[in-house]
Amino acid sequence: MVMRWSYSASRSFRQCQRQWYFKNVVASAIANDLFRKQVYLLSKLQSISAWRGKIVDDVISKTLIPSLNRGVRFTLQDAKNCARGLFDRQLAYGRGHPIDDLGLQVSKEGDDFTVFHAMEYQGELPKHEIQRAWCEVETALVNLFSMDDVKYILKSSDYIVPQRALQFTLMNDVTMLAYPDVIAFRGDAPSAIIDWKVHAFGTHDAWLQLAIYAIALSRCNPHRDFPSGFETQPQELALYEVQLLTSVVRKHSLEKEQIVEAEEYMINSAYEMACLTEGGKYVDLNIEDFQTTIHAETCQRCAFRAICWEKSHVGRDKLLSY
Ligand code: SF4
């Protein structure tokens, strides 16, 4: 079986192998096995803070960037209106929490589809957290529209590609997959990769994630809408980590040693996964071979708690028979 490696999967694997196994091996939207379908739906659970970050990402990638590419004016108020509409629709959908409907087809639910970790494990969405989430969506958008250096990069680009899948063969039977928030092609100037962060503190340095995106862009097969003859090296790219809640922009330049370090990180992580799974599929693998975390807080945040260790979780009795 060809395994997919991504930066987020590597982090999940390091946090808890069992969590990685649920998400990357067990979860299936198309399997007839109802347990696998349930795991798939659980894998879609989002924290309120991840959700509000995704709303910002979606407004940027689905409305702001297409407008920039078409040369159409798009104001802060337009962005806020789009965000508010998405926020309200997804909140209404998420409050319905249809996760026990094993016939649910996520691909047919459209943009409104949202399921919340808090609905699953607390039975409600705390009002103050929802209010704060909206304030932070607004703050992120206001900050974005006032960041002159970021606006300059976007407005001076010939063509901007949001959220595009980049993939290449990392090693035997392992495909590397990356979705940079933004790839900006800028004529003779170095192309840029931007990663939006909607973190309250913004202290995390995203250089490794951006280095991995840069390597992916240099090694993937260019998409048809990339500039003709496009090719690049990781060290040629301009890499920006944009903290939208704190207005901090970090520009990362890659030295040769950092590229080597990022490549080693990818290979070592993929090798660990490959050793554990040995190319096996769901039916070949034993859950007990995947270690559980020793950190209680990782379990608290985990989408799979219901099936992993909350055997007495309300409404999950039917799962226990699988
Ligand atoms: S509940 Fe805890 S041990 Fe189980 S998969 Fe999640 S993080 Fe791992």
219-259: per-residue pLDDT in tens? 999 999 999 999 999 999 999 999 999 999 999 999 999 99
Mean pLDDT, the chain, whole residue set: 92
Partners of 5 in the β-ladder: 176
For ligand 1, atom 4: residue with the closest CA = 308
Judged by average pLDDT, the poorest of 23-27, 119-123, 181-185, 312-316 is: 312-316
**Cα torsion for 73, 79, 82, 86, to the nearest 10°?**
150
Containing domain of residue 182, as a range? 148-278
How far is residue 113's CA from residue 260's CA, in Å, rounded to a whole number? 39
pLDDT, position 224: 93
Judged by average pLDDT, the poorest of 1-5, 25-29, 81-85 is: 1-5
| Total length of the chain | 322
For ligand 1, atom 2: residue with the closest CA = 299
CA of 25 to the centre of ligand 1 (A): 15
Tell me: the pLDDT tens digits for 283-296?
999 999 999 999 99
**The token pair that represents 30 in the structure block:** 């198309």
pLDDT, position 280: 87
Which of 27, 17, 20, 25 is CA-nearest to residue 290?
17
What's the Cα-to-Cα distance from 320 to each of 102, 183, 311, 312, 314, rounded to whole Å?
15, 45, 8, 10, 12
196 in a domain, yes or no?
Answer: yes
Partners of 169 in the β-ladder: 175
75 in a domain, yes or no?
Answer: no
Give me the percent of the chain exceeding a pLDDT of 70.
Answer: 95
How far is residue 128's CA from residue 118's CA, in Å, rounded to a whole number? 13
CA of 62 to the centre of ligand 1 (A): 33
Q: How many domains does the chain have?
A: 1
Tell me: the pLDDT tens digits for 125-171?
999 999 999 999 999 999 999 999 999 999 999 999 999 999 999 99
208 in a domain, yes or no?
Answer: yes
Residue 313, ligand 1, Cβ within 6 A? no
Residue 52, ligand 1, Cβ within 6 A? no
CA of 286 to the centre of ligand 1 (A): 16
How far is residue 42's CA from residue 9's CA, in Å, rounded to a whole number? 16
Which of 135, 136, 114 is CA-nearest to residue 46?
114
Instruction: From the CA of 308, give the closest atom in ligand 1.
Output: 4
Residue 299, ligand 1, Cβ within 6 A? yes
273 in a domain, yes or no?
Answer: yes
**The token pair that represents 202 in the structure block:** 């913004």
**What would the mean pLDDT of 22-42 be, rounded to a whole number?**
94
264 in a domain, yes or no?
Answer: yes
274 in a domain, yes or no?
Answer: yes
Residue 19, ligand 1, Cβ within 6 A? yes
CA of 15 to the centre of ligand 1 (A): 9
In the chain, which ranges are E strands? 3-5, 45-46, 115-116, 159-162, 166-171, 174-178, 182-185, 192-197, 238-243, 248-252
Please spell the DSSP secondary structure of 1-26, one letter per residue: -PEEE-HHHHHHHHH-HHHHHIIIII
Mutate to test the pocket of ligand 1, among 45, 295, 304, 316 (most ligand atoms within 8 A of CB): 304
For ligand 1, atom 3: residue with the closest CA = 292
Instruction: From the CA of 21, give the closest atom in ligand 1.
Output: 5
124 in a domain, yes or no?
Answer: no
246 in a domain, yes or no?
Answer: yes
Judged by average pLDDT, the poorest of 56-65, 194-203, 312-321 is: 312-321
